[in-house]
């Protein structure tokens, strides 16, 4: 009696570490590494043309310049994670800064109440636009494009015949013009690194206790070491000039806070779910409309905060506040840093890294006295390249059977 032939076992292909690294790099899984490489190249190019670029004074100015853009970009990241776009954030930032300035300068409000009024206006605008999008069904692109025009008009109305409102209140001006002493700067840095290390080690311990840990302790310690080294280098650079800027702390705090929200909370998982596959999210019982409305409300809130920080740095609000290339830079930054325009992929840290990349290009061209026309063309080209890379990475993931 003959025995049936046994099927030959399917050979298992083991991917080499180098091939795995290349695949992950091309598919966008190592977006942070790509951004850091780009940032190093940008700094090297501008430093070779002007050695003042990496001076402590210029790097401090760079951080102050990108704070407003970075804060606005935090809200933009949340919208991009939904696979949508908000074209009104620039105009909203200018309008909310004007509201704050009018209340404080013209009506004598307490500066903190004036700031709260400006932020509340941004939240209400976000709620309005998000509701029109989520409940009426008007595409977000159309709603926010209309908002871009409407809020620019509202800015002119709020400013009135004055045109420009100078800000002199020390509480508001101090947001972007406060620098901590060397001792205080090092204490803040040590506390921040300790909290980061504790959060990572505590998370690792919880995963091990739950039997869910799929990574060794080594990479976590390496990540903590890299963050500590970066903090030491940054504080040493800042303290050699004016000191650690309060604006930098505000930016990092918002970025870290929202990163925790999207990565560690149910609400954050729902944002990724809606952006990744809206039909699957709906079938999972996620309230799509609520997620959309709240995300646009947060985007409006962050636009207002960014606008107020920008007014604090410039000591004034005028008819061009929130205009020029602010919208382009706020959207370009996260995209350059790896947040997908197609939704469902990205981190809030891309707001900070993207602002650094875009801000470095703008700052470097200013040092080299390039015309505004060149700056616009270069920034637009960088955004186009980033979008192309994002599209190619998405195609690569689809070819590998991943979303």
Adjacent-strand bridge partners of 179:
245
Q: Strands 179-180 and 164-166, how do they pair?
A: unpaired
Pairs from 372-381 (Cβ < 8 Å, separation ≥ 24): 375/325, 376/325, 379/325, 379/328, 379/329, 379/332, 380/328
* 13 falls within a domain: no
On whether the CB atoms of residues 163 and 321 are closer than 8 A, the answer is no
Helix extents (H) in 82-181: 89-101, 111-131, 140-159, 170-177
pLDDT of residue 315: 93
pLDDT per residue rounded down to tens, the chain (403 residues): 445 445 555 554 445 555 554 555 555 555 567 788 888 888 999 999 988 998 999 999 999 999 999 999 999 999 999 999 999 999 999 999 999 999 999 999 999 999 999 999 999 999 999 999 999 999 999 999 999 999 999 999 999 887 899 999 999 999 999 999 999 999 999 999 999 999 888 888 888 877 765 567 777 888 889 889 989 999 999 999 889 999 999 999 999 999 999 988 999 999 999 998 899 999 999 999 999 999 999 999 999 999 999 999 999 999 988 887 888 889 888 888 888 887 888 899 989 998 998 889 889 998 888 887 888 888 788 778 877 877 777 677 666 655 5
| Element containing residue 179 per DSSP (H, E) | strand 179-180
On whether the CB atoms of residues 242 and 63 are closer than 8 A, the answer is no
Q: With 0.95 as the threshold, say if the pTM is over it.
A: no
| Element containing residue 47 per DSSP (H, E) | helix 31-49
Q: Which of 204, 223, 242 is the last residue of a domain?
A: 242
pLDDT of residue 173: 94
| Among 124, 152, 236, 137, residue whose Cα is nearest residue 186 | 236
Same domain, 343 and 278: yes
Same domain, 229 and 127: no
Q: Strands 164-166 and 316-318, how do they pair?
A: antiparallel
Same domain, 358 and 225: no
Pairs from 381-388 (Cβ < 8 Å, separation ≥ 24): 382/332, 382/336, 382/357, 382/358, 383/328, 383/331, 383/332, 383/335, 383/336, 386/332, 386/335, 386/336, 387/335, 387/341
Contact partners, residue 149, CB within 8 Å, separation at least 6 = 91
Adjacent-strand bridge partners of 316:
166
DSSP string across 324-349 = TTHHHHHHHHHHHTT--TTSS---TH
Same domain, 75 and 214: no
| Among 218, 220, 227, residue whose Cα is nearest residue 200 | 220
Same domain, 153 and 213: no
Same domain, 142 and 211: no
Same domain, 374 and 263: yes
pLDDT of residue 188: 95
Same domain, 322 and 392: yes
The CATH number linked to 325 is 1.10.3470
pLDDT of residue 34: 76
| Among 330, 305, 297, residue whose Cα is nearest residue 172 | 305
* 288 falls within a domain: yes
* 9 falls within a domain: no
Q: Which of 199, 221, 242 is the last residue of a domain?
A: 242
Contact partners, residue 126, CB within 8 Å, separation at least 6 = 75, 92, 296, 297, 298, 299, 300, 301, 303
* 173 falls within a domain: yes
Same domain, 215 and 300: no
Split into its structural domains, the chain has a count of 2
Same domain, 233 and 257: no
On whether the CB atoms of residues 308 and 318 are closer than 8 A, the answer is no
Question: What's the rounded Cα separation, in Å, for the pair 247 and 312?
Answer: 10
Q: Which of 214, 242, 270 is the last residue of a domain?
A: 242
Question: What's the rounded Cα separation, in Å, for the pair 272 and 143?
Answer: 22
* 363 falls within a domain: yes
Q: Residue 327, exposed/middle/buried by CB under 10 A (0-12, 13-18, 19+)? A: buried
* 379 falls within a domain: yes
Q: What is the domain extent for residue 175?
A: 33-43+51-181+243-399
pLDDT of residue 12: 47
């Amino acid at each position: 009696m003959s025995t049936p032939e046994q099927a030959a076992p399917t050979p298992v292909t083991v991917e080499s570490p180098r091939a795995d690294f290349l695949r992950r790099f091309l598919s966008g899984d190592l977006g942070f590494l790509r951004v850091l490489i780009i940032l190093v190249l940008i700094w090297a190019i501008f430093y070779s043309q002007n050695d003042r670029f990496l001076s402590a004074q210029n790097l401090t100015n760079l951080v102050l310049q990108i704070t407003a853009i970075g804060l606005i970009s935090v809200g933009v990241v949340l919208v991009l994670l939904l696979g949508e776009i908000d074209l009104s954030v620039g105009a909203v930032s200018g309008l909310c800064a004007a509201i704050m300035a009018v209340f404080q300068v013209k009506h004598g409000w307490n500066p903190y109440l004036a700031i709260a009024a400006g932020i509340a206006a941004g939240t209400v605008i976000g709620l309005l636009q998000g509701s029109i999008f989520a409940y009426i069904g008007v595409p977000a692109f159309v709603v926010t494009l209309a908002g871009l025009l409407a809020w620019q008009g509202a800015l002119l109305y709020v400013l009135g015949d004055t045109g420009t409102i100078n800000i002199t209140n020390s509480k508001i001006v101090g947001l972007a013009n406060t620098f901590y002493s060397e001792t205080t700067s090092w204490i803040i840095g040590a506390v921040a690194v300790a909290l980061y290390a504790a959060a990572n080690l505590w998370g690792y311990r919880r995963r091990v206790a739950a039997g869910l840990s799929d990574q060794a302790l080594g990479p976590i310690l390496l990540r903590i070491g890299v963050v500590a080294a970066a903090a030491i280098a940054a504080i040493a650079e800042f303290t050699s000039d004016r000191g650690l800027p309060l604006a930098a702390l505000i930016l990092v705090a918002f970025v870290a806070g929202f990163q925790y929200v999207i990565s560690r909370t149910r609400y954050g998982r729902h944002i990724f779910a809606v952006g990744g596959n809206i039909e699957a999210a709906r079938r999972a019982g996620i309230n799509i409309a609520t997620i959309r409305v709240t995300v646009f409300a947060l985007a409006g809130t962050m636009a207002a905060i960014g606008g107020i920080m920008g007014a604090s740095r410039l000591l004034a609000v005028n008819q061009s506040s929130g205009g020029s290339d602010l919208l382009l830079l706020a959207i370009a930054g996260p995209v350059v840093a790896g947040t997908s325009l197609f939704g469902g992929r990205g981190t809030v840290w891309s707001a900070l890294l993207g602002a650094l990349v875009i801000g470095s290009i703008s700052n470097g061209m200013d040092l080299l006295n390039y015309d505004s026309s060149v700056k616009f063309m270069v920034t637009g080209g960088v955004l186009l390249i980033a979008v192309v890379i994002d599209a190619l990475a998405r195609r690569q993931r689809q070819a590998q059977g991943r979303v």
